[in-house]
Structure 1
Amino acid sequence: MAGSTSRDVVGRGLAVLGRAIREQPRIFTVAVAGSVLFGSMVIASAYVVGAVVGDVVVPSIERGSVAAGTLALAAVALFGISVLRVVGIFGRRLGAGYMQYRLQAAYRRRVTRRYLELPLAWHHRNSTGTLLSNANSDVEAAWYPIAPLPFAVGTLVMLVGAVASLFVTDWALALVGLAVFPALFVLNVVYSRRMAPRQARAQRLRAEVSGIAHESFDGALVVKTMGREAQETSRFAGRAGELRDSLISVGRLRGVFDPMLETLPSLGTLAVLVVGTFRLRQGAIGVADLVSVAFLFTVLAFPVRAIGWVLAELPRSVAGWDRLRRVLDATGEMPYGDRELDPADPAPATLTFRDVSFAYEPAEAHLPGAEVLGEVSFTVPAGKTVALVGPTGAGKSTIASLAVRLVDPRSGTVTLDGVDVRELTSASLARTAALVAQVPFIFDDTVRANIALDRPGVSDDDVWAALRLAEADGFVAALPDGLDTMVGERGTSLSGGQRQRLTLARALAGRPRLLVLDDATSAVDPRVEAAILAGLRSADRSGGAPASILVVAYRRATIALADEVIYVEQGRVVARGSHTELLATVPGYADLVTAYEQAEVERVQEQPYDPEADPLHSGLEIEVDR
């Protein structure tokens, strides 16, 4: 791939720039107009300077005096050209900067939207660090050449004008220009092709370093408690060292080519002086012509470098664009339908699984995925609570994800009130069903913001009602600033049980008609969990409680509150019925629940009493901390 990239990097890079121009044509036109104005004034300034030297300075030296009017006219001409050059620079830089940042913002949004459209299976195959790198450094790299692009386009126009003016002045000097400018372009092409694989590798290593850092920070608790600091530091240092070496390789190549790119225009100026002096002695040109051409080559040295800047950044742009396209062209999105469930309907929803099978996509796309669920069928009747019980790996969390359409089944249907969830709009699905996942996620914001999530119509009264149902109003009221308390990144200032109750309150605040609890109260004391589930069962809809509940459970007390229990093993429904019936008729179920209960008893016996977990003393721990 590196060899291919090095061969066609210029063409592919120009194609990326062409896409940018098509997306922002007006801004690009403004920037190029400013650049062309600047280039035209550069050529004009060369000939004005030549005319001033040849027609004003030299005659004045010969006469020993200078006419005031001639001097004033020369000053006005130079000042006018300088003003127009400033206007050109302003238009060029403003347009180029606006275009670059506008493209970066647009593609960050596109990448983020694509992340939201792609299924969880795709996200499982891509590390968080890589996704962050795609949305940040890869977007910046793809559009980095936009900043010098208008300058380079204006410079090309300026070079055409300069060569034309050279031919008008003298054919010998024109040949010098024709030798220097193509040589400069060829050198830039060679440079870009050699730089391409180095830039591609650097972009890949940036993503890998970002991924390792994110993983280490995200798993800081495990790293600290397991004493893995040295190993994680070594792992990060190794990949960071590779990135350092890759960037040094890029710098070394630049160190070789940059002086060459800087030297060529200067050599052109020297050649013009040599050839021009010879032509001056022959009488083919005048002093004004020689000064104009020499000055032109001098001032062209910097603008011509703009072409080099664009070509030098093309490998980095292509590498970033390739990584962006991998996201934007990824398949597997789950388009929503156009059907709506009645938003004013207060009745609890009915969830139905009919012959649902599912398999996660493997890491290797060409390999078949292992089946996780097979022909699963059950119903959560309106207003009822159904407990989903099974050993680890039985597919309970997958069922929970299917219920709220985080993933789609391979076959079969999942319906809400008889409508296939794939036919519903995203808004209707979000209003109807809510999932509280195993691992609670808390934003680095206030308690209010974490629960309300800027949803329209969610007032403080709704927030407090949700907190009461989640048995969280006690500890929130005892926080220093109540609902305005900042809870820290991922809720670091809260206990595990408090975080779970806040995420439950977040789901309840939206008043969903179906609530899916995926082991969402595992960190909560059993007495608090029982109080929460009992409150959800008995609360009316005006309080915001869903009347239909699917709960992934393992505690006997939780399971006993359910109207029906569904027992799953190896992705299939083995039995269903009441807790008492399954205990008596299904040995696997009885063994599992008994094992869970014994483990819970041992855990409680080993841990000291936690006043925060007691619903009668939910604010005591905070008072003690104070």
Structure 2
Amino acid sequence: MANKVTSAVMRQGLRVLGVAVRAEKAVFASAVVASALYGGMTVASAWALGWATQNVIIPTFGKGEIAAGALWTGVLLIIGTALLKSIGIAGRRIFAGVMQYRMQARSRRDVTKQYLRLPLAWHQRHPTGQLLANASSDAEAAWAPLAPLPMAVGVVVMLVTAAVGMLFTDLVLALVGFLVFPAIAVLNLVYQRRLSPLVTRAQQLRAEVSEIAHESFDGALVVKTLGREDLEAERFRRRAHELRDANVAVGRVRGLFDPMLEALPTLGVLAVLGVGAMRLSTGDIVSGQLVQVAYLFTLLSFPIRALGWVLAELPRSVVGWTRVQSVLEAEGSMVYGEETPGRDEPATLAVSDVSYSYGETEVLHDVTFDLPPGRTVALVGPTGSGKSTLVQLLVRLVDPDTGRVLLDGTDLRELAYGKLAESVALVPQQTFLFDDTVRGNVALDLPMPDEQVWAALRVAQADGFVSGLGAGLDTRVGERGTSLSGGQRQRLALARAIARRPRLLILDDATSSVDPQVEARILYGLRDRAEASTVVVVAYRLATIALADEVVYLDRGRVEDRGTHQELLERCPGYRNLVTAYEREEAVRAALDADAALGLEETEVSA
């Protein structure tokens, strides 16, 4: 069974190498030519050394003087072969590196593009740490054998040339030396079978360690506030120790077999020298031939080891390749059409018989409503009624199981790639800011003048606190906007959406951390600005709901009713009970805020 697994890994690994060779034909060919030059010149140096021994060194011992012509010939031969060998080494390494890093970069780009194409439902099934590992360590491991590959292919020339050279120099010595080849082949086979499962396990553990680390760092607030530092450290320690032990096991196998692979050619050299000494004493060969064959045989260990380096990396390469391909071949990539939406007026939105499920759990069922251009609709419903899922459908983070979402009468799936983002902007529940300046977070590298940035900030009621920051638009907000309050972060995220002048603006509880008075000014500003938008707002506050032109009431994934706020209050008991609960909650919050302010005033007076 182990033999079958090892053979399958080797076949798949060779197919992976074939992908790289086909993708980078010119670079690979250049690397192989340079490696072949190195191999050929290495063998040539053996011939040069044998010629110098026979024609310079031995005559000098015999005559007691150096022949200048022979000496300079020998020097030029040795220097010339050394120079060409150096050129081969440099070319081999440069082109092999270019090939490897190009393939790694290509894989990372392809994986990242695929992440962006895949729907949100796919991302929800895969932890972020795993996705990071796919784009980093897996892409790196997939192409790790490319560094020694051109050398291994090129030194085959060296191996063949050396073998032919030995055969032509002295057949008997060559055959004696070749006896070690079967032993080297068997040793390499055993080496790969022992190493393959260990390297595979180590690569898998690298991804698992990355997943745990990312999860711990991303949940740092929960970990620290709930006192789980020791538990998380222990969880990471256990998996990190497993990775350590796996790498140590790989090191043990390499530490055992590498000296054996090095020793076998040396034993061959000893056998060649022993037999060669006897043949030298009988006059069958001359000293230069013995030196040449012995030196050629010492060179054979290097191409054998170079092939071993490639074979040793193949199991890890297969694991990395498989994990990368699982992303690239993932089903569910968004399919786009050719349509382009209009650009000048607020959008018309229609949701027609839309249903959506998470696995076996149906979240939305036959949802239908429409929204005329320039109007504001509030999506209202209890927790779990499907509001946020509906928002994801409106911006096509996911596609509905059945039904259609239409923008200006066109199904979102028929729009050309990138065209939806030109017309629709979403401000989500969870605000994300980059570790950048205020300007950078609003413009996101778009060529946007400062006047446009300030205009968006004014509508989002953020211009006041931004003006008060030390460097204004050039103030860095820190990682995830940690230097700002929750309400300030939400207003910057809203300004980011407004600055793009969307025709459809969707707010998913995007002002929950903003004071009600500020929220009201924001909503009025959205209505009164020159670039008016159609607005969909997931609302909880009574004041926000009352400002909407229409309310769509969702309950258990269905549209239970729709109409103005006042109409639903009169005819929909579920809506009335929910809004009344919101109203009571706001009253309690206002009372608590008032008590806190009064307590602060009393403290200041007593002080």
Query: Which TM-score tier does this pair reach, normalised by the shorter chain?
Result: over 0.9
Say which SS state the counterpart of residue 426 (structure 1) adopts. coil
2:543 is the counterpart of 1:557: yes
TM-score scaled by length of structure 1: 0.92
Q: In the TM superposition, what is the alpha-carbon distance from 1:609 to its structure 2 partner?
A: 9.3
**CA separation of 1:501 and 1:412: change in aligned 2, threshold 3 A:** same
2: CA distance, partners of 1:436 / 1:386: 15
2: CA distance, partners of 1:523 / 1:199: 50
Q: Which moved more, 1:103-112 or 1:173-182?
A: 173-182
Partner of 1:408: 399
Q: Within 5 A, what are the aligned runs for 1:229-378?
A: 229-343=229-343, 346-360=344-358, 362=359, 369-378=360-369
Partner of 1:596: 582
What amino acid is aligned across from residue 354 of structure 1 in structure 2? Answer: S
Partner of 2:68: 68
Check whether the contact 1:476–1:483 (CA below 8 A) recurs between aligned residues: yes
After superposition, what is the alpha-carbon deviation per residue over 1:468-500, rounded to whole angstroms, capped at 9, x for unaligned? 111111111111111111111111111111111
**CA separation of 1:177 and 1:425: change in aligned 2, threshold 3 A:** farther
Check whether the contact 1:13–1:318 (CA below 8 A) recurs between aligned residues: yes
2: CA distance, partners of 1:177 / 1:351: 82
After superposition, what is the alpha-carbon deviation per residue over 1:207-234, rounded to whole angstroms, capped at 9, x for unaligned? 1111111111111111111111111111
Partner of 1:477: 467
**CA separation of 1:609 and 1:137: change in aligned 2, threshold 3 A:** farther
What amino acid is aligned across from residue 581 of structure 1 in structure 2? Answer: E
2: CA distance, partners of 1:2 / 1:319: 17
1:533 to 495, 500, 523: 523
Partner of 1:365: none
Q: In the TM superposition, what is the alpha-carbon distance from 1:2 to its structure 2 partner?
A: 8.0
Q: Within 5 A, what are the aligned runs for 1:113-512?
A: 113-343=113-343, 346-360=344-358, 362=359, 369-456=360-447, 458-512=448-502
Partner of 2:32: 32
Q: In the TM superposition, what is the alpha-carbon distance from 1:160 to its structure 2 partner?
A: 1.1
Q: In the TM superposition, what is the alpha-carbon distance from 1:610 to its structure 2 partner?
A: 10
1: CA distance, partners of 2:337 / 2:4: 42
Partner of 1:571: 557
The size of the alignment, in residue pairs, is 597
Q: Which moved more, 1:169-178 or 1:224-233?
A: 169-178
**CA separation of 1:183 and 1:324: change in aligned 2, threshold 3 A:** farther
Q: Which moved more, 1:167-176 or 1:380-389?
A: 167-176
What amino acid is aligned across from residue 264 of structure 1 in structure 2? Answer: L
2: CA distance, partners of 1:605 / 1:24: 70
2:505 is the counterpart of 1:515: yes
Q: In the TM superposition, what is the alpha-carbon distance from 1:599 to its structure 2 partner?
A: 2.8
1: CA distance, partners of 2:198 / 2:185: 21
2: CA distance, partners of 1:547 / 1:224: 42
Q: In the TM superposition, what is the alpha-carbon distance from 1:239 to its structure 2 partner?
A: 1.5
1: CA distance, partners of 2:524 / 2:2: 62
1: CA distance, partners of 2:199 / 2:2: 10
Q: In the TM superposition, what is the alpha-carbon distance from 1:425 to its structure 2 partner?
A: 1.4
2:28 is the counterpart of 1:46: no
What amino acid is aligned across from residue 80 of structure 1 in structure 2? Answer: G
Gaps (5+ residues) in structure 1?
Answer: 363-368, 612-626
Partner of 2:93: 93
Say which SS state the counterpart of residue 179 (structure 2) adopts. helix
Check whether the contact 1:352–1:418 (CA below 8 A) recurs between aligned residues: yes
**CA separation of 1:273 and 1:539: change in aligned 2, threshold 3 A:** same
**CA separation of 1:519 and 1:179: change in aligned 2, threshold 3 A:** farther
After superposition, what is the alpha-carbon deviation per residue over 1:381-424, rounded to whole angstroms, capped at 9, x for unaligned? 10100000111111101111111111111111100010111111
Q: In the TM superposition, what is the alpha-carbon distance from 1:302 to its structure 2 partner?
A: 3.1
After superposition, what is the alpha-carbon deviation per residue over 1:151-192, rounded to whole angstroms, capped at 9, x for unaligned? 111111211111111211222222244333443344223322
What amino acid is aligned across from residue 382 of structure 2 in structure 1? Answer: P
Check whether the contact 1:9–1:192 (CA below 8 A) recurs between aligned residues: no
**CA separation of 1:268 and 1:601: change in aligned 2, threshold 3 A:** farther
Q: Which moved more, 1:513-522 or 1:214-223?
A: 214-223
**CA separation of 1:302 and 1:588: change in aligned 2, threshold 3 A:** same
**CA separation of 1:596 and 1:428: change in aligned 2, threshold 3 A:** same
What amino acid is aligned across from residue 598 of structure 1 in structure 2? Answer: R
1: CA distance, partners of 2:533 / 2:159: 75
| Aligned alpha-carbon RMSD (Å) | 1.8
1: CA distance, partners of 2:241 / 2:583: 50
After superposition, what is the alpha-carbon deviation per residue over 1:423-477, rounded to whole angstroms, capped at 9, x for unaligned? 1113321111111111011111111111111224x22111111111111111111
1: CA distance, partners of 2:564 / 2:405: 23
**CA separation of 1:341 and 1:288: change in aligned 2, threshold 3 A:** same
